[in-house]
Amino acid sequence: MSKKWYPTWYAKEIFDIDFNVLKESGIKHILCDLDNTIVPYHVVSASEGELKWFEELNEHGFTLAIVSNNYLGRVRNFATEHNIEYLANSNKPTIRRIKKFILNGEINKDEWVFIGDQILTDIWAANRLGIRSILVEPLVKRESIRSFINRKLDNKIRKKILKDKDKISIEKGDLNE
């Protein structure tokens, strides 16, 4: 299978991600998809669990920015409510806009990770950027039509990736790295 679709790590959901492993791996900055990664695509603001996750992430010293293909209003409302940097209409898996967003791509790539639920947008974009990535499971099955188009192929590729799940897991309490 093509390397361009392969994530660095896997976790079932964002809450399972072991921040210590990220730290030990030199990660300092997190780019994160919004819909179906942080909250389901129809949910407008974070609940207690997500707020705690944002806080924890902050305490560990990571920066967080949302990179979403969704429209400005949706992304801005969520991000500004929680004081998070954001890029809407990001056009993943293309990386022109993301590069511009992250200091014109003039970054230390070893310090960045992209978290997302979709292989054909999030993971592919991360690989094009040359940064590491964490694939998570989509929070809900019901989703926007845009995402649905990619989902079938995503599932097929995901099945193959998950055969290596133990090798690439970054979940808390997991001894495999």
Using CB under 5 A as the criterion, which residues of the chain lie in contact with Mg ion when the complex forms? 33, 35-37, 117
Asked if residue 108 lies in contact with residue 5, where contact means CB atoms within 8 angstroms, the answer is no
**From CA 13, how far away is CA 58, in angstroms rounded?**
18
Nearer to Mg ion, 33 or 154 (CB): 33
Nearer to Mg ion, 8 or 147 (CB): 147
177: Cβ contacts below 8 Å, ≥ 6 apart: 21, 170
Nearer to Mg ion, 28 or 128 (CB): 128
**From CA 173, how far away is CA 153, in angstroms rounded?**
31
Question: Residue 110 gets which letter from DSSP?
Answer: G
Tell me the closest approach of the beta carbon of residue 24 to Mg ion, in angstroms: 27
Tell me the closest approach of the beta carbon of residue 26 to Mg ion, in angstroms: 25
Peptide bond just before 138 cis, omega within 30 deg: no
Tell me the closest approach of the beta carbon of residue 70 to Mg ion, in angstroms: 9
* In the complex, residue closest to Mg ion by CB: 36
Tell me the closest approach of the beta carbon of residue 134 to Mg ion, in angstroms: 13
Nearer to Mg ion, 8 or 37 (CB): 37
Helix (H) or strand (E) holding 124: helix 124-129
Tell me the closest approach of the beta carbon of residue 75 to Mg ion, in angstroms: 12
Nearer to Mg ion, 61 or 133 (CB): 133
Of the candidates 95, 89, 84, the one whose C-alpha atom is nearest the C-alpha of residue 73 is 89
53: Cβ contacts below 8 Å, ≥ 6 apart: 14, 15
